[in-house]
Amino acid sequence: MQLKLTSIAAALAFAFAGAAQAQSTAPAAKPEKRAEQSASQGASERQARKAEEERIEAQAKADKAKCDPMKGNAKDICQAEAKGKEKVAKAELDAKYAKDKAKAERKVQETKAEAAYEVAKQKCDEQKGEAKDACQKQAKVERDRAKGAAEKRAENKERSAATGQSAPEKPKR
């Protein structure tokens, strides 16, 4: 009788210990599920990004095809616009998935400035002599100004993020 009671008590102790052990290890299984979920989200995100890249490339191909019947400088301008549009779209896509949003937004702004500069350069080719030189200088100035503005915006965002402010405060009157 004593042996039966002891073995029943031991069995109950092991049962409770096993249940307690199972409960304490159950949360450890949840990170695995989270990893699986994040992996599946990552896969779907990659697929969405790939589809978006393919859409951008198809649009660029169509834009470049529109330039084929054109001749001379008009064709060069059209091609510069198509290439610029493609580069900007790709930079915006990269920014959408970037970890450092401020840096990615700066890259988008710089890409837009470069694209506008390339188009402006092609438009300047229609002119001759000093007018062409002045046009190209103006295009460079506008590009540099746009890049400088993008850099300032990025610095302001970084500074406000570092201090925890949402925007620089304006003095009250």
Give the three-state DSSP class for 38: helix
| Average of per-residue pLDDT values in the chain | 81
3-state secondary structure labels for all residues of 79-93: HHHHHHHHHHHHHHH
Torsion-angle region of 127 (φ positive above 0: left; ψ -120 to 50: alpha; else: beta): beta
pLDDT of residue 23: 53
Q: What is the mean pLDDT of residues 32-48?
A: 71
In the predicted model, is pLDDT for residue 173 greater than 70?
no
pLDDT of residue 160: 75
pLDDT of residue 126: 87
pLDDT of residue 9: 61
In the predicted model, is pLDDT for residue 52 greater than 90?
yes
In the predicted model, is pLDDT for residue 97 greater than 60?
yes
pLDDT of residue 26: 47
For residues 118 and 98, the answer to whether their CB atoms sit within 8 Å is no
Cβ neighbours, 10 Å, residue 108: 21
In the predicted model, is pLDDT for residue 107 greater than 80?
yes
Query: Which pair of tokens denotes residue 164?
Result: 């925890």
Our measurement of the distance from residue 43's CA atom to the centroid of its chain's CA atoms, rounded to an integer in Å, reads 16
pLDDT of residue 154: 77
Domain extents for the chain?
Answer: 42-159
For residues 119 and 81, the answer to whether their CB atoms sit within 8 Å is yes
Q: Is the pTM of this model over 0.75?
A: no
* Helix (H) / strand (E) containing 109: helix 101-124
- Cα separation, 79 vs 59, in Å, equals 13
Per-residue pLDDT tens for 5-29? Answer: 566 766 656 666 655 555 554 454 4
pLDDT of residue 156: 79
Which of 15-29, 73-87, 152-166 is predicted with the least confidence, judged by mean pLDDT?
Answer: 15-29
**List of residues 6+ apart from 35 with CB closer than 8 A:** none
